[in-house]
Amino acid sequence: MADVPFRTIHQIVKAARLRLNQTHWDYLVGATETETTLKRNRMSIDSLALKPRVLRDVSNVDTSGSFLGHNLKIPVCLAPIGSLQVFEEGGGATAAKAAAEFGCMVMSSSVCMPSLEEIAASADGPKIFQLYVRGDADWTDEMVQRAIDAGFTAFCLTVDTATVSRRERDIAKGVVPTSTAFMQNQRDPSGNLNYQAMLNWSDVKRIREKFDIPLILKGINTKEDAAMAVDHGIDVVYVSNHGGRQLDQGRGTMELLRECVAEVGDKAKIAVDGGFYRGTDILKAIALGADIVGIGRLEAWAMAAGGQPVVVRMLEILRNEILLGMALSGVTSLEELDESFIAESQPVVPPSVFSAFPLVDVDDEGY
């Protein structure tokens, strides 16, 4: 990796901005309507401070974690992005290769190219397949079986996309987002864009009972739905508000996480995403009870900045930040982290998609 020039994550973000046109940049950094949920994600992370312990032997720090039986170099998953091929032509296959090379997990979107079979065959690392439902029960069951046959580690249903949201950066320019265009191109006479709106707990029950594969629900926002997920035997409750890209005026990531962890306890694993860009962000999530943290925009920025080598470099930098954060907090393993290492505090910068990168100076409006 010596030929990759980046030494900080903010350099990767800046390189992505220079490579992307305004339309693709807006798609990546934008959110729904007022973009309040996106900002609250960062506000909720930045409103928590770390409480370090000192005079502990931290000469040997272990950043590794495990998830669904797989050992990971850091407890991170490359989150599913429906338009990865816009940022790098290899799309989901490139992300899978980068995750395997580094040693973390990847979740591949059903509206990402190439096919799920090609993504599965592209790398040996642990991979999860994520589905947007675009057909009836038979269609959905066929997708689950294809994921099992292809060797995916787990199957994930995204449950917070009952309708296409209003992303005004795109609307104002008359741009159809790539993922939406993909869905429209897949339309059949049955009107399959409506199937996601019809998705309900009976579908979850059917999949859980019919298939022997770890099942994840992505998009849980409340303790009530977390409890329902546990009642349906879900293996992983994936706490997410879609990075602020679905419902506007939603709550921030950490508020959702705390509520769901308290409800789920040890009945299921907890994944979370939404605004996590730095090593200390990930440590905060682990301290509050997350088992793994998804990174989406950070993944796409790295893809846009140079594909697989830059994604690997980004993960290396993230691991270094995690390692330093652990050592300076007085812990040698992630299992030592709990809420005693967290305190409420005041953010020092206005919340935005770039508030984790004070050295980045980019025009993020783009209307």
Residue the block writes with tokens 């490139």 = 94
Can you give the pLDDT at residue 189? 40
pLDDT confidence band for 361 (50 / 70 / 90): confident
The 10s digit of each residue's pLDDT in 160-206 is 998 888 888 888 877 766 555 555 555 444 446 789 999 999 999 99
The alpha carbon of residue 202 and the mean position of all alpha carbons in its chain are separated, in whole angstroms, by: 26
Can you give the pLDDT at residue 165? 85
pLDDT confidence band for 4 (50 / 70 / 90): confident
- Which helix H or strand E contains 97, and what residues bound it? helix 91-102
Q: Cα–Cα distance between 286 and 62 in angstroms, integer?
A: 14
Average confidence (pLDDT) over 269-275? 98
By percentage, how much of the chain surpasses pLDDT 90?
86
Least Cα distance to 275 among 351, 173, 168 occurs for 351
User: What is the DSSP-derived secondary structure letter of residue 248?
Assistant: T
Residue the block writes with tokens 């890209």 = 245
Q: Which residue has the higher pLDDT, 328 or 1?
A: 328
Least Cα distance to 357 among 314, 293, 304 occurs for 314
Least Cα distance to 198 among 135, 106, 245, 255 occurs for 135
pLDDT confidence band for 1 (50 / 70 / 90): very low
The 10s digit of each residue's pLDDT in 71-128 is 999 999 999 998 899 999 999 999 999 999 999 999 999 999 999 999 999 999 999 9
Check pLDDT > 50 for residue 62: yes
Check pLDDT > 50 for residue 302: yes
Average confidence (pLDDT) over 279-300? 98
The 10s digit of each residue's pLDDT in 209-232 is 999 999 999 999 999 999 999 999
242 is catalytic: yes
Mention every residue, 6+ apart, whose C-beta is less than 8 A from residue 167.
27, 30, 31, 32, 33, 177, 245
* CA dist list (Å): 324 to 48, 93, 99, 273, 332: 18, 31, 21, 22, 10
Rounded to 5°, the CA angle 345-347-353 comes to 135
C-beta neighbour count of 55 within 10 angstroms = 6
C-beta neighbour count of 94 within 10 angstroms = 23
Beta strands in the chain (DSSP E): 48-50, 65-67, 70-72, 76-78, 105-109, 127-131, 154-158, 215-220, 236-239, 269-273, 292-295, 342-344
The 10s digit of each residue's pLDDT in 309-325 is 999 999 999 999 999 99
Residue 195 near residue 157 (C-beta atoms within 8 A): no
Can you give the pLDDT at residue 181? 59
Residue 163 near residue 199 (C-beta atoms within 8 A): no
CATH number, span 9-332: 3.20.20.70
Q: Which residue has the higher pLDDT, 192 or 234?
A: 234
Can you give the pLDDT at residue 365? 45
Can you give the pLDDT at residue 164? 82
Check pLDDT > 60 for residue 354: yes
Would you state the structure tokens that stand for residue 159, as one six-digit string?
A: 């449950």
The 10s digit of each residue's pLDDT in 120-151 is 999 999 999 999 999 999 999 999 999 999 99
Would you state the structure tokens that stand for residue 204, as one six-digit string?
A: 């979850």
Mention every residue, 6+ apart, whose C-beta is less than 8 A from residue 216.
128, 130, 154, 155, 156, 157, 234, 235, 236, 237, 238, 271
Would you state the structure tokens that stand for residue 309, as one six-digit string?
A: 């080598």
Least Cα distance to 79 among 274, 236, 313 occurs for 274
Can you give the pLDDT at residue 286? 98
Can you give the pLDDT at residue 190? 41
Domain boundaries along the sequence of the chain: 9-332
Residue the block writes with tokens 């035997």 = 233
Which residue out of 24, 70, 232, 242 is catalytically annotated?
242
Can you give the pLDDT at residue 170? 81
Can you give the pLDDT at residue 162? 87
pLDDT confidence band for 2 (50 / 70 / 90): very low
Q: Cα–Cα distance between 20 and 32 in angstroms, integer?
A: 20
Can you give the pLDDT at residue 126? 98
Strands 342-344 and 48-50, sheet pairing: antiparallel
Average confidence (pLDDT) over 229-250? 97
The alpha carbon of residue 192 and the mean position of all alpha carbons in its chain are separated, in whole angstroms, by: 25
Can you give the pLDDT at residue 362? 60
Query: Across the chain, what does the average pLDDT equal?
Result: 93
